[in-house]
Amino acid sequence: MGLHNGEQEKTALPGSNAEHRFKSGEEEKTALPGSDGEHRLQERYNSRTRAQAFYNRQVLGYLNPAMQAFIARQEMMFVGTADKHGEADTSFRAGEAGFVRVLDENRLCYPEYRGNGVMASLGNISENPHIGLLFVDFTGAKIGLHVNGRASIVENEEFLRDPSTPEAIRADMSITNGRRPERWVLVSVVEAYIHCSKHIPLMQKITGEIPWGTDDVRAKGGDYFKAKDSPRPCGCEATHSC
């Protein structure tokens, strides 16, 4: 679900009801949450009434206090991005509880720790700021939260120079082990809404040591899917560039 009004994108103002207001020059328009495509399919499959009730009751243009508290308890999330051509990628981010920092009702940020160096999500964000975050509580409330918005990359130095940066973020950057953020992603919230609990499995958390920032191949999962020696479209070896 995203905010669209025809083919021209506008900036959504934070609001508390299901209708989001947009301005185009002197003309002000009202549009429902969601894409034109989902609205067409609601008509085709006769789900418009249910969808309208969901928009009215559950979709916000900001993070209310309950949403903020929920995010502060989470240790993981899923991140959806796409490049300028619309080619999509989904990734996973994790940290200690509260690793995603809510700055205010309209903004949150999350750290980018040392990874495999591919920069897939950040690369997409650098050319297409649209982002979708999904938080799921598998071990407690068995509920999820979608946060969609616009993302930008913020270097540690930028946060450190900004006097308004919360102390919690400054403390994160003072960590000296592998959990020190290399940089951050700042997300301006466009919409936030619940992911229902009925198909979320209840899981049990097992505490274990996390090798933050390691380059150890085995600790990262090794060649679990046997991709290293699998055929590639160009016919080249895995050690060579396609």
CATH 2.10.109.10, domain 65-195, yes or no: no
Give the chain as a 3 state SS string: CCCCCCCCCCCCCCCCCCCEEEEECCEEEEECCCCHHHHHHHHHCCCHHHHHHHHHHHCECCCCHHHHHHHHHCCEEEEEEECCCCCEEEEEEECCCCCCEEEECCEEEEEECCCCCCCHHHHHHHHCCEEEEEEEECCCCCEEEEEEEEEEEEEHHHHHHCCCCCHHHHHHHCCCCCCCCCEEEEEEEEEEEEECCCCCCCCCCCCCCCCCCCCCCCCCCCCCCCCCCCCCCCCCCCCCCC
Mean model confidence pLDDT for the chain: 86
Average confidence (pLDDT) over 8-34: 43
pLDDT digits (tens, 9 = 90+) for 190-221: 999 999 999 999 999 998 888 888 888 888 88
CA–CA separation, 8 vs 62, rounded Å? 22
pLDDT digits (tens, 9 = 90+) for 105-164: 999 999 999 989 999 999 999 999 999 999 999 999 999 999 999 999 999 999 999 999
- What are the residue ranges of CATH 2.30.110.10 in the chain? 65-195
**What is the model's pLDDT at position 212?**
81
> Both tokens of residue 232?
């590639």
**What is the model's pLDDT at position 30?**
52
pLDDT band, residue 45 (cuts 50/70/90)? very high
